[in-house]
Amino acid sequence: MDVPVLDPATATTVAGGIPTPRSDDPTWWRSAVIYQLYIRSFADGNGDGTGDIAGVRQHLGYLKELGVDALWFTPWFASPLADGGYDVSDYRRIHPAFGELAEAETLIREALELGIRTIIDVVPNHVSSEHEWFRAALTAGPGSPERERFWFHPGVGPNGDGMPTHWVSNFQGETWTRTTNPDGTPGEWYLHLFTPEQPDLNWNHPDVRREHEDVLRFWFDRGVAGVRIDSAALLVKDPALPEVTGLEGAGEHPNTDRDEVHDVYRSWRAVADEYPGTRVLVGEVWMPDPVRFTNYLRPDEMHTAFNFDFMGRPWSAGELRESIDSMLAAHAPVGAPSTWVLSNHDVTRPVTRYGRADSSFSFADKRFGIPTDLELGTRRARAAALLTAALPGSLYLYQGDELGLPEVEDLPATARQDPMHFRSNGVDPGRDGCRVPLPWAGDEPPFGFAPQGSSPWLPQPADWGRYSVAVESADPGSMLSLYRSAIAIRRDLEGDESFAWLESAEGVLCFARGAGFVSVTNLGTVPIDLPEHETVLLSSHELVDGRLAPDSTAWLKTRA
């Protein structure tokens, strides 16, 4: 090891005696507020139009003031950015546009000095086609040990021109690409559940397992407090490569949620547990069955995983209540807290989604031109922010949601970058619209995201000045002010994971947390009376004659 181990729990000593909130709390992750930082679009410190570590360091005070416990950085490693960095070519290097390793180390330390932990994003299912392993595999040719780290396979038929399976990519289209032999003849095929630039690794290979454990240690040694695990259910494939029939039993799908994948996370947990403090494993697990989902959270596996069930639900009291109940019930037997997630860098921004006639989210339904009422959507997103922040568990906040940014639906065609858009032949708008650089200040692009005169990598709408941090900081009624207050008040709920529904009218979600705290959300169409209380701690919308208007949440202090 070439760096001293940095322990997030004792960062006070390492960083020079600055007190850090909850620094010695091994259960910090159970109720943490985690800010998802999409580094390309957060802040550009060097004026090249791309966000970077320098930009994050300039704005650590903003994150501290917001009150978050941890930052989850979407991949910041060396990458050709064929899929926004989820195509990693070298885990031990930072992408040059984002900075250098030494800067990342400084950032991790500076954030810890402010009591903010760092979570990085690892992408174990695949690497970039520019990764040295894949390049070596291509050069070494069929039958070589280098190819065994991936899924190379001869094609079907006399000329080998049929692909080995007809599995459908998570980004639509095919999952196999044919290689060309060094002599120019058509060669084997290789598997990629995403783009051809993201070849899938073979998790039956010991090198693959060893390498990822080394990568975890590399970053834990640098003080990282956890990892977000990309596409966590996809790693293990059935080596017989059968077709998908749709009739598979649980654990028998050829490439998703196979039972053997849990061994991987048991070994990762063992690595995390070697370190002082709690280094957390957070899974990106898209799994409709709540029990198959929480299997990943058994005590010797991951700590938490994203609750996408809640995120996908429409703005409906019945739907949200059902999701809360099923998620809390599924988590209870494994002892893991639930997470609450309203969005991320892959999905439509909440203020846009909640303003639509169908406010549910599913990748399959993403289309251009779906009408939305942004005023309604914003009002509901504010109510949803308080609803989720009041629930027991950890809270994820995707950068820009604290400003109430809408999805940018009219990006010029030439600006779009997302392979999901291109692989759908332009039918799916893709994910660029939720990745547009943040507005910090000023009346015109780049709104303080980058030095004046630079062009952000994705263009910002001309009217985004009104969402800027400067404007919203000065407005007590802004989304930013709401989030700041909510996160501060939420602190009082830490350490108590109790939750109980209270009786309420139809269309209302009302529950008690801890001693003397009640959250009430009105998803109905008429104002409602508040339950008995001592004071209103916070509300997402002004109360009218003491009543809670539709599409609003209020937090109440009640007699304990």
Binding site for ligand NOJ (CB under 6 A): 83-84, 86, 123, 194, 230-231, 284, 345-346
Q: Based on CB atoms, which residue is closest to ligand NOJ, 126 or 303? A: 126
Q: Is 388 helix (H, G, I), strand (E, B) or coil?
A: helix
Residue for token pair 């053997």: 260
Tell me how far, at minimum, the Cβ of 471 lies from ligand NOJ, in Å.
30
Question: 79 with 88: CB under 8 angstroms?
Answer: yes
Radius of gyration of the CA atoms of the chain, in A: 24
Tell me how far, at minimum, the Cβ of 393 lies from ligand NOJ, in Å.
20
Q: Based on CB atoms, which residue is closest to ligand NOJ, 128 or 338? A: 128
Q: Is the peptide bond before 254 cis (omega within 30 degrees of 0)?
A: no
Q: Based on CB atoms, which residue is closest to ligand NOJ, 82 or 387? A: 82
Q: Based on CB atoms, which residue is closest to ligand NOJ, 83 or 402? A: 83
Q: Based on CB atoms, which residue is closest to ligand NOJ, 28 or 86? A: 86
520: closest CA among 529, 509, 512?
Answer: 509
Q: Based on CB atoms, which residue is closest to ligand NOJ, 123 or 272? A: 123
Question: 190 with 151: CB under 8 angstroms?
Answer: yes
Q: Based on CB atoms, which residue is closest to ligand NOJ, 203 or 467? A: 203
The string of DSSP letters for 432-483 reads: GGG-PPPP-SSSSTTTTSS-TT---SSPPPTTGGGGSHHHHHT-TTSHHHHH
CA dist 274 and 210 (Å) reads 16
Tell me how far, at minimum, the Cβ of 85 lies from ligand NOJ, in Å.
8
Q: Look up residue 173 and give its two tokens.
A: 């289209």
Q: Based on CB atoms, which residue is closest to ligand NOJ, 129 or 231? A: 231
Tell me how far, at minimum, the Cβ of 49 lies from ligand NOJ, in Å.
21
Tell me how far, at minimum, the Cβ of 234 lies from ligand NOJ, in Å.
9
Residue for token pair 């989720």: 388
Q: Based on CB atoms, which residue is closest to ligand NOJ, 257 or 346? A: 346
Tell me how far, at minimum, the Cβ of 89 lies from ligand NOJ, in Å.
14
CA dist 406 and 403 (Å) reads 9
Q: Cα 243 from chain centroid?
A: 30
Tell me how far, at minimum, the Cβ of 67 lies from ligand NOJ, in Å.
25
Query: In whole angstroms, how far apart are CA 27 and each of 224, 344, 353, 388, 494?
Result: 16, 24, 33, 20, 10
Counting every residue written for the chain, the total comes to 560
The 8-class DSSP code of residue 168 comes to B
Question: 400 with 378: CB under 8 angstroms?
Answer: no
Tell me how far, at minimum, the Cβ of 126 lies from ligand NOJ, in Å.
7
Show Cβ contacts of residue 12 under 8 Å, excluding neighbours closer than 6 positions: 18, 19, 20, 23
CA dist 230 and 302 (Å) reads 13
Tell me how far, at minimum, the Cβ of 239 lies from ligand NOJ, in Å.
22
Q: Which helix (H) or strand (E) holds 352?
A: helix 350-353
Max CA distance (Å), the chain? 80
Tell me how far, at minimum, the Cβ of 447 lies from ligand NOJ, in Å.
24
Q: Based on CB atoms, which residue is closest to ligand NOJ, 171 or 555? A: 171
Tell me how far, at minimum, the Cβ of 426 lies from ligand NOJ, in Å.
18
The 8-class DSSP code of residue 338 comes to P
Angle at the Cα of 425 from the Cα atoms of 197 and 360, rounded to 5 degrees: 95
354: closest CA among 324, 310, 315?
Answer: 315
Tell me how far, at minimum, the Cβ of 338 lies from ligand NOJ, in Å.
19
Q: Based on CB atoms, which residue is closest to ligand NOJ, 423 or 513? A: 423
Tell me how far, at minimum, the Cβ of 349 lies from ligand NOJ, in Å.
15
Q: Based on CB atoms, which residue is closest to ligand NOJ, 23 or 424? A: 424
Tell me how far, at minimum, the Cβ of 76 lies from ligand NOJ, in Å.
14
Report the 10 Å Cβ neighbour count for 220.
Answer: 24
> Which residues does residue 536 pair with via DSSP β-bridges, in sequence order?
556
CA dist 558 and 536 (Å) reads 9
CA dist 429 and 243 (Å) reads 29
What is the pairing mode between strands 500-501 and 508-513? Answer: antiparallel
The residue at minimum Cβ distance from ligand NOJ is 86
Show Cβ contacts of residue 210 under 8 Å, excluding neighbours closer than 6 positions: none
Query: In whole angstroms, how far apart are CA 554 and each of 78, 335, 545?
Result: 45, 29, 14
Q: Based on CB atoms, which residue is closest to ligand NOJ, 231 or 352? A: 231
